[in-house]
Amino acid sequence: MPSPYRALFAEPGTKAFSAAGLIGRMPLSMMGIGVVTMVSQLTGRYGLAGALSAAMALSAAAVGPQISRLVDRHGQRRVLRPATLVALAATAGLLLTAHLRGPDWVLFVCAAGIGTVPSLGAMVRSRWAALYRGTPMLHTAYSFESVVDEVCFIFGPIVSIGLSTAWFPEAGPLLAACFLAAGVLWLTAQRATEPEPHPRERHGGGSALRARGLQVLVATFVATGAIFGAVDVVTVAFADERGHKSTASLVLALYAAGSCVAGVVFGLLRFRGAPERRWLLGVAGMAVSMIPLLLVGNLPLLAVALFVAGLSIAPTMITTMSLIEEHVPRAQLTEGMTWVSTGLAVGIAVGSSVAGWVIDAAGARAGYGVPAVSGAVAVVVGFLGYRRLRRPATGRGGTVEQHSEREERHVA
């Protein structure tokens, strides 16, 4: 491991909470695609599969920020454990209903219950922020966590799709639930590194989404999430049409691998200048990378195109975390991070649902038009909101890069 990453773990407890976060985040990449695979195998209805995935994402979008707001006020342990129990019960209901060929409305109710899954990525990043806020190490920590996210997306779909196609249809989501339970229990058992809660009276009780810069980030990531949701569903269908459905997990793993490689390199670099410019370039890069998907005709070419497309994901997400620190009060950092995840969740819901209906109507290849259009929308929204990102609110924590630049100007 390069020395900047090794230095991250000099503080006691960092290895343990990062490992717990890795385990607890596996469902992020396993549950949605596992449900799509399970339902498509049991019913052959990609429209229903995509709609259930959308229901889970929309529920997470509605409930996730509220859970994180409670975490900021009351602490991770007191909030995450009961929220996880609700999600696990809903998962059990979904799998049982699907196995027994129960009515669709029960599937949707259970899918909505899964939305109480807490944002483990935000919980772990808030622990890093508590340790390294205002230092260059926080940029490295955010980069490392983006790499962890991509490791989950490399191996999660492989495991989830592989188990559901080779063993039994419900196997992928079932294992995802086990990972969630283990990760949350391990993380919340680590009290020494848990960030100090901030009671309501210390920051008024309003939502972090009142920050204008955060609104731009969330709106843009709705469109970005539509890219991710559509790519997942369409790739499974694309591989299925060619008689190699299980290969979809490997193709999607290469998409995440591209992001992982870019994230490792990005974390070793130190940047000068405005982070919002790099963020906008990253969003544009994600949009442009969707165009080749419209032209591919076989799985090997699709795998190459998705690997290249993944190169812009992690750098954009890392820069986003810096911008959140600039525009959101420290006492609401976990909620702010979760709002970006909420934007992604809403986008995933829209993208997976629309892609499912396009596949049913016109085939998988036509489905890649959905992420292409979503990328164009993301660029438009990012450009329109760029001025808000250039005007950080007063009284915020500030990004790592800005702290460094201020220190250099002071010395000069």
Is 407 within the bounds of a domain? no
The reported pLDDT for the residue numbered 391 is 63
| Of 120-124, 158-162, 180-184, 273-277, highest mean pLDDT | 180-184
DSSP of 263-297: HHHHHH----S-HHHHHHHHHHHHHHTTGGGGT--
Look up residue 225 and give its two tokens: 């999430």
Confidence band of 283 (pLDDT split at 50, 70, 90): very high
Within 13 Å of residue 267, how many CA atoms lie on the same side as its CB?
Answer: 29
Q: How far is CA 147 from CA 85, 305, 401, 412, in A?
A: 28, 20, 20, 35
The parent domain of residue 317 ranges over 3-195+207-393
Which residue, chain included where needed, has tokens 């309003």? 206
Is 183 within the bounds of a domain? yes
Is 371 within the bounds of a domain? yes
Q: Looking at the predicted structure, is the pLDDT value of residue 357 above 80?
A: yes
Q: Looking at the predicted structure, is the pLDDT value of residue 176 above 80?
A: yes
Is 148 within the bounds of a domain? yes
| CATH code of the domain covering residue 139 | 1.20.1250.20
Q: Looking at the predicted structure, is the pLDDT value of residue 128 above 90?
A: no
Average pLDDT score over residue span 172-192? 91
Which residue, chain included where needed, has tokens 């607890």? 24
| Of 57-66, 79-88, 131-140, 260-269, highest mean pLDDT | 79-88
The reported pLDDT for the residue numbered 395 is 46
Least confident window among 63-67, 85-89, 94-98, 313-317 = 63-67
Within 13 Å of residue 309, how many CA atoms lie on the same side as its CB?
Answer: 28
pLDDT in tens, 361-411: 888 888 899 999 999 999 999 988 888 777 655 444 444 444 333 333 333
The reported pLDDT for the residue numbered 28 is 78
Is 90 within the bounds of a domain? yes
Look up residue 75 and give its two tokens: 């602490």
The reported pLDDT for the residue numbered 392 is 56
Is 399 within the bounds of a domain? no
Distance CA 343, CA 349 (A): 10
| Of 127-136, 295-304, 338-347, highest mean pLDDT | 295-304
Confidence band of 5 (pLDDT split at 50, 70, 90): confident
DSSP of 12-32: TTHHHHHHHHHHHHHHHHHHH
Query: Would you give the DSSP letter of residue 210?
Result: G
- The SS3 assignment for 212 reads helix
* Percent of the chain topping pLDDT 90: 16
Residue type, position 244, single letter: H
pLDDT in tens, 190-242: 988 888 877 754 444 567 667 777 888 889 989 998 998 889 888 888 888 88
For the chain, the average pLDDT equals 81
Is 406 within the bounds of a domain? no
The reported pLDDT for the residue numbered 1 is 52
Count structural domains, the chain: 1
Distance CA 178, CA 95 (A): 13
Is 200 within the bounds of a domain? no
Within 13 Å of residue 83, how many CA atoms lie on the same side as its CB?
Answer: 26
Whole-prediction pTM value?
Answer: 0.73
